[in-house]
Amino acid sequence: MSPENGTLLALQGVSKRFGPVEALSDVDFEVHSGEVVALVGDNGAGKSTLAKAIAGIHEIDDGQILFKDEPVKITSPPDATKLGIATVYQDLALCDNLDVVENLFLGREEIEDGVGGLVRELDEIDMEKRSHELLENLAVTITNVRNEVGTMSGGQRQQVAIARSLLGEPAVVVLDEPTAALGVRQTAQVLALVKRLRERGLGVVIISHNLVDVFEVADRIYVLRLGKEAGDYVASETDQQEIVSAITGLSGNVGPDTAAYNEEPKGGQS
């Protein structure tokens, strides 16, 4: 990573325990401006715990977190949001009966100025305008922002969820399995959007079981195994075989099955 790409988020010596189970052990992890870092590992490797520590769902037990080189405390999701960290979870948390504008501004609706503000009327015109601007800047494939989200494809729903995360103008975006259960065309749309986030200078953390998708967008690939760092690779300098070897702990000459890591996740703790 070139010097001009500053470190946005860094975890140093981070550990997290749940009773006797150490889900993360002395983990060092960082993401830079304009960089996509893929977080990979088998189920139970600690990926979700690490993501939830970044998002403020799990408070770390040991180590420290730095945001833009300053030590910070992230003890709740609002802490992460205020810093500029947005997380898009696999379930997306969209309301199918609401349209795109309503989903984008859910919980942060804009109120009209003047008389309209006195009766708490929503500023539908401005919210629709801002929705169009945001989606156009991201070059997403949604043409009508008044269509209900429940009528949209999986790829379009993922685009809405990612766009919603950007309304707060975050510096870091964490995406949990953004291409899971998507078809080839929809996956391509989402991966193109991830690349545009990088072009905008954001730091992107993408959690994925699909190594084909990982190698399509990632600048670095960070491997967790049993809660510990198992490797931090420059994507252009490695291959699927080496990454699977790091995930499984098997030697490269054993020949682990890379196909198993390009299938949809089968559930369980990640």
Which residues form the domain of 231? 7-261
How far out from the chain centre does Cα 15 lie?
Answer: 21
Mean pLDDT of 176-191: 92
Q: Is residue 29 domain-resident? A: yes
Looking up residue 189, the CATH number of its domain turns out to be 3.40.50.300
Mean pLDDT of 137-141: 85
pLDDT value, residue 261: 67
Please give the Cα distance from 250 to 257 (Å, whole number): 11
Q: Is residue 2 domain-resident? A: no
**For residue 91, how many other CB atoms are within 10 A of its CB?**
9
pLDDT value, residue 48: 94
pLDDT value, residue 120: 46
Q: Is residue 125 domain-resident? A: yes
pLDDT value, residue 90: 87
180, 264 contact by CB (below 8 A)? yes
pLDDT value, residue 4: 52
What phi and psi values does residue 258 have, to the nearest 5 degrees? -70, -25
Assess whether pLDDT exceeds 80 at residue 71. Answer: yes
Assess whether pLDDT exceeds 90 at residue 118. Answer: no
DSSP codes joined into one string, 41-52: --TTSSHHHHHH
Mean pLDDT of the chain: 89
**For residue 18, how many other CB atoms are within 10 A of its CB?**
10
What's this model's pTM, rounded to 2 decimal places? 0.86
Q: Is residue 1 domain-resident? A: no
Confidence of residue 265 (pLDDT cuts 50, 70, 90): low
Q: Is residue 179 domain-resident? A: yes
Assess whether pLDDT exceeds 70 at residue 226. Answer: yes
How far out from the chain centre does Cα 250 lie?
Answer: 28
Q: Which of 24-28, 81-85, 97-101, 110-114 bottoms out in mean pLDDT, i.e. has the lowest? A: 110-114
Q: Which of 65-69, 177-181, 199-203, 232-236 bottoms out in mean pLDDT, i.e. has the lowest? A: 177-181
Q: Is residue 268 domain-resident? A: no
* Tens-digit pLDDT profile for residues 35-60: 999 999 999 999 999 999 999 999 99
SS3 263: coil
pLDDT value, residue 55: 97
Q: Is residue 270 domain-resident? A: no
Q: 214-245 as b/e, with b when 16 or more CB fall inside 10 Å?
A: bbbbbbbbbbbbebbbbbebebeeeebeebbb
Mean pLDDT of 213-236: 98
Beta partners for residue 207, in sequence order: 39, 176
* Tens-digit pLDDT profile for residues 89-115: 988 889 999 999 999 998 777 765 554
Q: Is residue 197 domain-resident? A: yes
Cα dihedral angle (190, 196, 202, 208), rounded to 10 degrees? Answer: 30
The total of structural domains in the chain comes to 1
Please give the Cα distance from 118 to 32 (Å, whole number): 44
Assess whether pLDDT exceeds 60 at residue 130. Answer: yes
pLDDT value, residue 5: 66
